[in-house]
C-alpha cells in the first residue's frame, strides 16, 4: 500500500474515532444544556408545558439516543477505516450526516427564542466539518469530489429541513387536533409532517448508498428532492405567509423568507442537479 494511502486511512480513522468519542462523552452534555434550558425558560420552569415544548422534548429525547448510537458506531468502525475496509467509508458518511442534519433543529429554538449560540451547534459544526473532510479524503478525481460535495451537502440540507419541519407539523397538530381536521391551513400538515420525516430518512440513505457508488443512491436522492417539493410547496401555499427564516419583524413575509418555500426550492435544485450529466455520471458506477 502506498504511503499516501496509508496516511489517508489513518486520518479517516482518527476523524471517526475522535468524533465518536466526542459524540458519546461530550455531545450529550451540550444536548441537555440546549434542550433543558430552552424548555425550562419557555415553560416557566416546567409549570406550563405546551404542545410545542412536549413535541420538542419527546423528539429530542428519541434523537439523543440515536446520537449516542452514532457515536458508538463511529468508534467501532474507526478500526475498519484504518485497515481500509471497503464498506467503512460509506458507513462513516452515513453516521456523520445524522448529527449534522439533526442538530440544526435541536439548536433552532435557542436562535429563535434566546437569541444565543446553541451549545449543540458545536456538535453540528464539527460533524459537518468531518463530513466534508471525509468527502475530500476519499480517493476520487477532482470532478467526482466536486459532484459529491454539492449533492451530499444538498441532501444534508434537505434532511435538516425535514428534521425541523416534521416537529413543526407535529406541534401544530397536537396544539389543536380539531383545527387539523377542520382547517385546511392546519390539515395540510397531516401529510406534510410525515413526508418531512421521510425526507430525513431518505436523505441519510441516499448519502449512504451514493457513498457506496450505487445507482440506487441516485434514485433515493431523486426521491428525497421530489418528496421535499411535494411536502413543502403545498404547506407554503395553504398556510398563512410568515417570514419564518428571519428574525421577527425584520423583513416582510415573502417566498424568500418562507421556510417551506425555500425548502421546496432546495428540493427542486437537488432534482435538477441530479439530472445534469456532470453530476449524474460521477455519482455512481455504471457497471453495477
Q: Which domain CATH number covers 241?
A: 1.20.120
**What pLDDT shows up at residue 4?**
66
Q: How far apart are CA 251 and CA 97, in angstroms?
A: 32
Most confidently predicted of 17-31, 43-57, 228-242: 17-31
Give the residue among 281, 264, 271, 14 at the shortest CA–CA distance from 146.
Answer: 281
Whether residues 42 and 126 fall in one domain: yes
Neighbours of 75 (CB within 10 A): 17
In this structure, of 12-26, 40-54, 173-187, 269-283, the range with the lowest mean pLDDT score is 40-54
More confident residue, 287 or 255: 255
Whether residues 40 and 134 fall in one domain: yes
- Cβ contact 93:207 at 8 Å: yes
User: Mean pLDDT across the stretch 92-102?
Assistant: 97
Whether residues 178 and 273 fall in one domain: yes
- Cβ contact 87:80 at 8 Å: yes
Indicate whether 18 pLDDT > 70: yes
Neighbours of 14 (CB within 10 A): 13
Per-residue confidence at 164, pLDDT binned at 50, 70, 90?
Answer: very high
**What pLDDT shows up at residue 70?**
98
Neighbours of 263 (CB within 10 A): 26
Q: How far apart are CA 237 and CA 29, in angstroms?
A: 39
Indicate whether 116 pLDDT > 60: yes
Whether residues 30 and 128 fall in one domain: yes
More confident residue, 236 or 243: 236
**What pLDDT shows up at residue 223?**
98
User: Mean pLDDT across the stretch 119-145?
Assistant: 97
**What pLDDT shows up at residue 38?**
86
Cα-to-chain-centroid distance, residue 30: 18
Report pTM.
Answer: 0.93
Whether residues 114 and 181 fall in one domain: no
Whether residues 178 and 94 fall in one domain: no
**CA-based angle 188:190:193, to the nearest 5?**
100
Asked which of 139, 160, 184 is the last residue of a domain, the reply is 139
Cell 425535514 sits on residue: 162
For residues 249-262, b (16+ Cβ closer than 10 Å) or e, as one string? eeeeeeeebbbbbb
Whether residues 52 and 67 fall in one domain: yes
Asked which of 87, 119, 139 is the last residue of a domain, the reply is 139
The count of domains in the chain is 2
- Cβ contact 128:263 at 8 Å: no
Asked which of 99, 115, 139 is the last residue of a domain, the reply is 139
Indicate whether 128 pLDDT > 90: yes
Q: Which structural domain, as residue segments, surrounds residue 55?
A: 1-139
Distances (CA, A) of 98 to 249, 258, 270: 33, 25, 19
Give percent above pLDDT 90 in the chain: 75
User: Mean pLDDT across the stretch 68-93?
Assistant: 97
**What pLDDT shows up at residue 255?**
77
> Residues 203-223: pLDDT tens digits?
999 999 999 999 999 999 999
- Cβ contact 206:224 at 8 Å: yes
Whether residues 124 and 227 fall in one domain: no
Whether residues 192 and 99 fall in one domain: no
**What pLDDT shows up at residue 2?**
63
- Cβ contact 205:197 at 8 Å: no
Whether residues 151 and 283 fall in one domain: yes
Half-sphere exposure of 197 (CA within 13 A, CB side): 12
**What pLDDT shows up at residue 247?**
56
Whether residues 135 and 146 fall in one domain: no
Distances (CA, A) of 149 to 7, 93, 220, 246: 22, 12, 17, 27
Whether residues 78 and 177 fall in one domain: no
Indicate whether 5 pLDDT > 70: yes
Mean per-residue pLDDT over the chain, rounded = 92
Q: Which DSSP state fits 241?
A: P
Amino acid at each position: 500500500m502506498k504511503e499516501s494511502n496509508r496516511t489517508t486511512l489513518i486520518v479517516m480513522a482518527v476523524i471517526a474515532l475522535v468524533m465518536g468519542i466526542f459524540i458519546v462523552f461530550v455531545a450529550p452534555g451540550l444536548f441537555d444544556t440546549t434542550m433543558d434550558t430552552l424548555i425550562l425558560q419557555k415553560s416557566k420552569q416546567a409549570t406550563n408545558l405546551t404542545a410545542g415544548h412536549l413535541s420538542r422534548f419527546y423528539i429530542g429525547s428519541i434523537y439523543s439516543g440515536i446520537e449516542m448510537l452514532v457515536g458508538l458506531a463511529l468508534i467501532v468502525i474507526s478500526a475498519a477505516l484504518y485497515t481500509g475496509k471497503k464498506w467503512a467509508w460509506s458507513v462513516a458518511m452515513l453516521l456523520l450526516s445524522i448529527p449534522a442534519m439533526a442538530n440544526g433543529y435541536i439548536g433552532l429554538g435557542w436562535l429563535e427564542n434566546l437569541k444565543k449560540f446553541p451549545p449543540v451547534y458545536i456538535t453540528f459544526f464539527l460533524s459537518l466539518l468531518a463530513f466534508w473532510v471525509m468527502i475530500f479524503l476519499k480517493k476520487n478525481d477532482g470532478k467526482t469530489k466536486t459532484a459529491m460535495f454539492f449533492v451530499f451537502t444538498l441532501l444534508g440540507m434537505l434532511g435538516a429541513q425535514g428534521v425541523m419541519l416534521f416537529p413543526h407539523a407535529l406541534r401544530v397538530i397536537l396544539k389543536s387536533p380539531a383545527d387539523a381536521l377542520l382547517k385546511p391551513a392546519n390539515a395540510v400538515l397531516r401529510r406534510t409532517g410525515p413526508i418531512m420525516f421521510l425526507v430525513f430518512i431518505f436523505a441519510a440513505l441516499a448519502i449512504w448508498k451514493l457513498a457506496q457508488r450505487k445507482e440506487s443512491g441516485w434514485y433515493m436522492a431523486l426521491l428525497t428532492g421530489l418528496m421535499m417539493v411535494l411536502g413543502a410547496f403545498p404547506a407554503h401555499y395553504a398556510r398563512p405567509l410568515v417570514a419564518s427564516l428571519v428574525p421577527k419583524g425584520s423583513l416582510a413575509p415573502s417566498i424568500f423568507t418562507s421556510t417551506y418555500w425555500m425548502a421546496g426550492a432546495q428540493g427542486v435544485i437537488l432534482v435538477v442537479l441530479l439530472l445534469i450529466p456532470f453530476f449524474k455520471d460521477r455519482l455512481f458506477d455504471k457497471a453495477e
